[in-house]
Structure 1
């Protein structure tokens, strides 16, 4: 299945292997390797070679990567962290002069976008399942796959830091002002459990997930869309507001994120 086999080791000693395949075969390759994961223990990640991925880990201190770091991150409740990120994003949207009448009107709209019941009522029944969004792999099909010894996709991001960037352009309120690299791990772990969202392609400024149990009723889709829009507010540039995300991405079997 794979050619161009390459092996490398991260700064923390995690062994990596990668291979290449013909253009246009990435989805088939990923799904075949994902199906083999229970036997191999190797999680497939599209778009990276072992050498590139390992090199990036040397820009991180060893305490911030590898099995010990992963064990420490498992002490954090991912659902609580997702709720904190969402609350912080709402805080940020509501900042400003509370006596400004125009700002008050905007804030009412913002609050509505963080109310799952109101969003669900606005989007109505999901009568058509949207196609999965593949923003990066659709436009630039990868020809490499990285295999990481990990029990699940979220573990990859802790074991091999640098596959995604620290989000310096994300803004939150006082309860969580910045999106940290570890937040990618927490969010993905939460979505793995809740929606069956699995790591497919991480990039420096983008992320794609394959989803096995996407929300299909309006309230669940609304809840999911609020989480997605809070985690990646640049979805508004890609798709639109939270109502559009609830209709076009949350119920789909493939999710795409991008940070400008």
Structure 2
């Protein structure tokens, strides 16, 4: 990479992407234009933030970790109705908050269904499960937020990305509909009868809900890893608990990386950077 973002010796209407190396252009299977570039290791956060700041002018949303060619190639495994503007238009008819509530309900169903409720030990266990799905009760356990956690950067710290992709999208959630394949369909996720599988549409709708609720913005989608920058994270115990219940329902593998719902409410929900990982 030549000059650093912030230098004044360039056209103010020029995008940073034009000053990066390895610029590549491609189109998805339904004609969505993509552009990408590369940069030195360790520059990813600065590059993403500079391109995100340009978004109101360019209309291009930055996501880390992808080249235009690789992202476009992945879309050829999806039918036309499941991607691009058509998919985005269909998803606009779905209430994102209701979908997240459905995921929460489905996860509780899955955890409660198989055991005999007449067994006293099962009764106690079921009560614990209900408590961990109730934001009010989670907030009672976690108590007031006294410290803002630093945020979790699981993938971008372990494997610093050196590629950035730009997608013509009004917001981060649209990227996942316009360019399917950046996130995998999670075959290891299972829910109850209300919603037995985690669908690709769920990624789009969860992110749209969190954009509206917390200002969560797409940062790095990488098949089984997802990172979000959060501009308005919850900062009360109840709000953090509500967010943590949703996060655990969407990605219960957080139990392996962060701990139980109480740990998520303390360690991730109030932070300005969230990470998810599906094993």
Give the TM-score taking structure 1 as reference length: 0.99
Match of 1:134 among 153, 162, 170: 153
Secondary structure of 1:125's counterpart equals: coil
- 1:62-211 equivalence runs, <5 A: 62-96=80-114, 97-211=116-230
Does residue 34 (structure 1) correspond to residue 28 (structure 2)? The answer is no
Distance 1:48 1:38 in 2: 22
Secondary structure of 1:174's counterpart equals: coil
Distance 2:143 2:219 in 1: 30
Cα offset, 1:144, TM superposition: 0.2
Cα offset, 1:99, TM superposition: 2.4
Secondary structure of 2:262's counterpart equals: helix
Deviation beyond 3 Å, 4+ runs, structure 1: none
Give the TM-score taking structure 2 as reference length: 0.92
Distance 2:246 2:169 in 1: 25
Distance 2:226 2:111 in 1: 24
Q: How many residue pairs were aligned? A: 260
Secondary structure of 1:7's counterpart equals: strand
Does residue 225 (structure 1) correspond to residue 244 (structure 2)? The answer is yes
Cα offset, 1:101, TM superposition: 2.6
Structure 2: segments with no counterpart, 5+ residues: 1-18
Distance 2:109 2:259 in 1: 20
Does residue 45 (structure 1) correspond to residue 59 (structure 2)? The answer is no
Secondary structure of 1:17's counterpart equals: strand
**Offset from partner CA, 1:159-203 (integer Å, 9 cap, x none):** 000000001111111111111000000000000000000000001
- Point out the structure with max Rg over C-alpha: 2
Structure 1: segments with no counterpart, 5+ residues: none
Distance 1:224 1:146 in 2: 28
Distance 1:32 1:100 in 2: 58
Q: What is the root-mean-square deviation in Å for CA atoms of aligned residues? A: 0.7
Give the match for residue 19 of structure 1. 37
